Amino acid sequence: MDRNFRIACVGEVMIELIAGDGNAAELNVAGDTYNAAAYLKRAAPELHVEYVTVLGRDRFSDRIVRDMKARGIGTAAVTRHPNRMPGLYAIETDAAGERSFAYWRSSSAARTLFDADGRDPADVLASHDLVLLSGISIAILSGAARDRLRNALEGFRANGGLLAFDSNFRPHLWKDLRLARAETERFWQCTDIALPSVDDEMALFGDADDSEVIARLRSWGVSRGALKRGDAGPVDLGADGHALPVPMAEHVVDTTAAGDSFNAGYLAATATGRSSIKAMESGHALALKVIGRRGAIVDID
């Protein structure tokens, strides 16, 4: 692997509140592609990982930038909006580690990305080798910004760049199901490394099972990556369709960022020249560590 391999993770990073006992809460920094960026640096410190977003000029935005720098994540592609602030979400978990969320993000600074921030995504992505996007990354953008990003990805890939995409479906971020399906399909059709979760894909497209999900993705040109299936283990989206047998989690505390950490482990292994099977093993092993701790970005050392 080229030690200068550069990965751009694009999307929204927020302030995370983890509800505790009584009125207590823990404040952190998190967001799906941001979680992946943090775990990428943990899994492969030699990689250059940069985060692409818009923040405000407030103290919470300053806190986020400090968090990025502390984790070794590049901040050169972070711009600052003069009046908007980062989004916020609160999380609670039940006894089985399953999550429930409440969000305050409808006017976050990140929603101006590739639109009111005045940047051309082609210029932002040009210096990178791989771009990681999610369904949340594209859902928060304006229609015009999504078009700019989609068009920029054509040139980026034509010049040898790779797109990794996780559909990460959040219904409340989309105007309606029809739009969510159409836009997600558009990005699947230009994806080089697919990292979907079977539950998201079934909820979004109405597939009956994982075999229908895989068939549909392959009909759109997906030929590389992994379908995440939780305890059932991932399936290689390559030609052989290998299903990876995986150990069960012994102790689940919080499933937040399970998919994000899998993505990080998979991409770190891929970027460092390992096979798809080894990448799935790395992704699953990392996710197992993460769900044994509380929060999105946890100490796994």
95-131 in b/e burial notation, b at 16+ Cβ within 10 A?
Answer: eebeeeeeeebeebbbbbbbbebebebbebbeebbbb
- How far is 33 from 52, CA to CA, in rounded Å? 10
Read off the pLDDT band of 224 (50, 70, 90).
very high
- How far is 64 from 239, CA to CA, in rounded Å? 41
- By annotation, the residues acting in catalysis are 260
Q: How far is CA 91 from CA 99, 179, 218, 286, 290, in A?
A: 7, 27, 35, 21, 16
Residue with tokens 């739009």: 179
Residue 39 backbone phi and psi in degrees, to 5: -75, -30
Which tops the pLDDT comparison, 114 or 246?
114
Structure tokens at 49: 């990982």
Q: Which pLDDT value is given to residue 158?
A: 97
- How far is 224 from 241, CA to CA, in rounded Å? 10
Read off the pLDDT band of 94 (50, 70, 90).
confident
The whole-number average pLDDT for the span 40-67 is 97
Residue 253 has pLDDT above 80, yes or no: no
Residue 152 CB neighbours (<10 A): 20
Read off the pLDDT band of 9 (50, 70, 90).
very high
The whole-number average pLDDT for the span 45-57 is 97
Residue 61 has pLDDT above 80, yes or no: yes
Residue 231 backbone phi and psi in degrees, to 5: -60, -20
Read off the pLDDT band of 97 (50, 70, 90).
low
Residue 161 has pLDDT above 80, yes or no: yes
Provide the mean pLDDT of the chain.
93
19-23, 29-33, 100-104, 162-166 — which is least confidently predicted? Answer: 19-23
Q: What three-state secondary structure class fits 46?
A: coil
Residue 239 CB neighbours (<10 A): 9
Q: Which pLDDT value is given to residue 2?
A: 52
For residue 88, what are the β-bridge partners? 15, 104
Question: What is the tens place of the pLDDT at every residue in 120-160?
Answer: 999 999 999 999 999 999 999 999 999 999 999 999 999 99
Return all residues near 111 (Cβ < 8 A) that are at least 6 apart.
Answer: 12, 54, 84, 105, 140, 141, 142
Q: Which pLDDT value is given to residue 246?
A: 82
Q: What is the pTM of this model?
A: 0.94
Q: Which pLDDT value is given to residue 1?
A: 45
Q: Are 114 and 104 in contact (CB under 8 A)?
A: no
Q: Are strands 48-55 and 6-10 parallel, antiparallel or unpaired?
A: parallel
Residue 52 has pLDDT above 60, yes or no: yes
Read off the pLDDT band of 53 (50, 70, 90).
very high
- How far is 215 from 227, CA to CA, in rounded Å? 12
The whole-number average pLDDT for the span 282-286 is 94
Residue 27 has pLDDT above 70, yes or no: yes
